[in-house]
Structure 1
């Protein structure tokens, strides 16, 4: 569905530019920002490789396992339908830890894998299960300790203090994560009450 939305926006933009006589500016913007996008991606690769390397060292040293063990009791309460040793729980833990370090590129594949496993637990029904909705809320709000990607972008564009955003990011993502989980639980209990009285 999202592909159709993007294509629709692109086509509407091009048609509007053609009608209003702004095609030259559109062509200029396409080439300018395509080049800038590639340059930015190469700049981000170095930062992401560094932090992924740090995560690998932490994994070998056993720090990630300790962090995962710390989060496991909380995640078991958030995902009561998921058996403790099910692959979905491992992917959820990996996704959460990658998000903690601001590694969205590393977190996304883990989130997709977790969602696939949760869909299997849901017997491939077309409607999302409680755990699938909770994972989406948790992943979207994503509590972040170190916003690696944002720091990399700030460094790329010459910020004098690229790490100044760490404190505000922690406060903002803590607030959004708490809000997302409260809203998730509110609507879950509301659905349960509706089903009870049907």
Structure 2
């Protein structure tokens, strides 16, 4: 559906440019944007490779295991339907750890695997309570080190690319707390309706 919306917007824009006589500006903007996107992508690759390397070092040093152990009691309380030793729990912890370090690209495959494991647990195609909670937490995206945003700010020569770390932590923590509160509110509300 989103592809259709984007296609519709592009077609309307091109038709408007043809009737408005600004097709040359549209073509110029199109090619400049494509060039800028390639430059930005190449710049981001170096930062992502750096942080993925740091993540690998942290994994080899056992830091991720320690962080997973610290998060496990909290995650077990948030996802009471998932057995403590189930593979879904490992994927959830790995996903949260990657998101905390701002590695959304690395967290995505882990999140997909976690959802697959939770689907196996529920045995249906309907989203389970755990799946909804996981989605809400992932959407909130608690981040301590917003590496992708820092990389973009560095790419555009920001004088202080890391100054957004504090506000990112506050904003993502507020989003996480709100997501959890709303998730629990609607869950308990649905339980009361069933009674």
TM-score interval w.r.t. the shorter chain?
Answer: over 0.9
TM-score, structure 2 as length reference: 0.93
- Per mean C-alpha deviation after superposition, the further-off stretch among 81-90 and 71-80 is 81-90
Question: Match for residue 49 of structure 2?
Answer: 49
Question: Match for residue 141 of structure 1?
Answer: 140
1:90 lines up with 2:122 in the alignment:
no
Unmatched 5+ residue regions in structure 1? none
Question: Match for residue 190 of structure 1?
Answer: 189
* Cα deviations by residue, 1:128-163 (Å, 9 ceiling, x for unpaired): 111111111100111111110010001110011111
SS of 2:96's equivalent in the other structure is helix
Distance 1:110 1:5 in 2: 29
Distance 1:157 1:172 in 2: 23
Question: Match for residue 75 of structure 1?
Answer: 75
Distance 1:118 1:40, change over 3 A: same
CA RMSD of aligned residues (A): 1.5
Distance 2:144 2:53 in 1: 17
Question: Match for residue 156 of structure 1?
Answer: 155
Distance 1:60 1:163 in 2: 26
Query: Mapping of 1:1-198 within 5 angstroms?
Result: 1-125=1-125, 127-196=126-195
Distance 1:79 1:4, change over 3 A: farther
* Cα deviations by residue, 1:58-109 (Å, 9 ceiling, x for unpaired): 1111110000011111111111111212221111111101110111111111
SS of 2:162's equivalent in the other structure is helix
Distance 1:76 1:6, change over 3 A: farther
SS of 1:164's equivalent in the other structure is coil
Distance 2:181 2:171 in 1: 15
Unmatched 5+ residue regions in structure 2? none
Question: Number of aligned pairs?
Answer: 195
Distance 2:10 2:78 in 1: 39
Moved over 4 A (4+): none
